[in-house]
Amino acid sequence: MKIVKVSDYQEMSEWAGKQVIEKVKSVRQPILGLATGSTPEGLYRYLIEANKNHDVSFENVTTFNLDEYIGLDRDDPNSYHYFMKEKLFDQIDIDPNRTHLPNGVAADIEQECLDYEALIKKTGVIDLQILGLGVNGHIAFNEPGTSFTSRTQRTDLVEETIEANARFFENKADVPTQAITMGIETIMESKEIILLASGENKAEAVKRLVEGEVTEDFPASILQKHPHVTIVIDEAAASLLK
Ligand code: F6R
C-alpha cells in the first residue's frame, strides 16, 4: 500500500487527475472505475479542464461506477447517474454508451446486479478504480460486515451513511435506504486502485484503513491486501497516522 500525503483537497485532486490521465494515455482501451460523492468532484473538474485543453481524450474510455441508489431514476437530480452526467460525462468527449452505472429502478434488482457483473467481465478488467472512503470504512456502498467475497449486490445503507449523505437531499427522509453496489471482490479485481480521502472527518477512518487490522467490520481494510493501491490523503485526513 503506497501512501501519498498532499497538503489539501486541491492537491489531492490534481495528483489523482494526473494518474487518471496517464492511465488513459497509456492503455489502448482504458476501463476506469469511478466513484461519486464530494471526494472525486475536484478530480473530475481537473479531468474536464484537461479535456478542454486537449491534453487528454476520453473517446476510447469505458467507465463503470461503483453504485447507485435503489428507487432513483437516472433523471432524478440525486441519482448517481445524474451526478456523473453533470459533474463529468456531459463535459468531456466520452461516448455515453461506454459509461455504465447500475440501474436503481430495474424491475428485477437481483438480475440487474448479475447483469452489471457480467458486463464488467465481458468488457475486461478495470484498469484503474477510484475510491472514496466512508467515515465508517465503507468502500462503494459495502457497509461494515459485508463479506470480502461479495460481488455486485443489493445493500441496506446503515444509519451513519444515510446521515452522511443527507446533505445532498432536501430531507434526510428522502435518502434512499438501499443501493446497488459493486462488491468488495469485484473492486479488488481492479488492476490498480486509488483511494482518495480529504478532511478531518476522514482521519479516524484513514487510520483504521492504513494501520488497523484487516477485518470485514471495516471494509476498506481489505485494500491492505491489494497489490497496487495508492491512498492519497491530505494533511487533515492524515492527522491521526503514526
Ligand atoms: C460513492 C461511494 C462512497 C463514497 C463515500 C465517501 O460512489 O461509493 O463509498 O466514496 O461514501 O463519500 P464522500 O466523498 O461524499 O465523502
127-136 confidence digits (pLDDT tens): 999 999 999 9
- How would residue 190 be classed by pLDDT, with cut points 50, 70 and 90? very high
The single-letter code of the amino acid at 175 is V
Q: Which of 41, 43, 64, 66 to mutate to test the pocket of ligand 1 (most atoms within 8 A of CB)?
A: 66
Going from the Cα of 120 to the center of ligand 1, the distance in angstroms, rounded, reads 21
Residue located nearest, by CA, to atom 5 of ligand 1: 134
| Residues designated as active site | 67, 136, 138, 143
Residue found under cell 479542464: 49
How far is Cα 46 from Cα 192, in angstroms, rounded to an integer? Answer: 20
pLDDT recorded at residue 4: 98
Q: Which of 63, 87, 131, 133 to mutate to test the pocket of ligand 1 (most atoms within 8 A of CB)?
A: 133
25-59 confidence digits (pLDDT tens): 999 999 999 999 999 999 999 999 999 999 999 99
Q: Which of 39, 41, 139 to mutate to test the pocket of ligand 1 (most atoms within 8 A of CB)?
A: 39
What backbone torsions phi and psi does residue 154 show, to the nearest 5 degrees?
Answer: -80, 140
pLDDT recorded at residue 57: 98
Q: Report residue 10 as a C-alpha cell.
A: 486541491
- Domain coordinates of the chain in residue numbers? 2-197+209-234
Give the 3-state secondary structure of residue 107: coil
Going from the Cα of 105 to the center of ligand 1, the distance in angstroms, rounded, reads 20
Residue found under cell 469485484: 186
Provide mean pLDDT across the span 185-200: 98
Residue located nearest, by CA, to atom 15 of ligand 1: 37
89-125 confidence digits (pLDDT tens): 999 999 999 999 999 999 999 999 999 999 999 999 9
Residue located nearest, by CA, to atom 3 of ligand 1: 140
How far is Cα 68 from Cα 50, in angstroms, rounded to an integer? Answer: 27
Element (H, E) at 14: helix 9-26
- How would residue 153 be classed by pLDDT, with cut points 50, 70 and 90? very high
Residue 19 near residue 194 (C-beta atoms within 8 A):
yes
Lining ligand 1 with CB less than 6 A are: 35-39, 66-67, 132-134, 138-141
Architecture of the domain made up of 2-197+209-234? 3-Layer(aba) Sandwich (3.40)
Going from the Cα of 200 to the center of ligand 1, the distance in angstroms, rounded, reads 15
Provide mean pLDDT across the span 158-162: 97
Going from the Cα of 67 to the center of ligand 1, the distance in angstroms, rounded, reads 10
pLDDT recorded at residue 188: 98
pLDDT recorded at residue 197: 98
218-241 confidence digits (pLDDT tens): 999 999 999 999 999 999 999 999
- How would residue 194 be classed by pLDDT, with cut points 50, 70 and 90? very high
Provide mean pLDDT across the span 78-83: 98
Going from the Cα of 25 to the center of ligand 1, the distance in angstroms, rounded, reads 26
pLDDT recorded at residue 39: 98
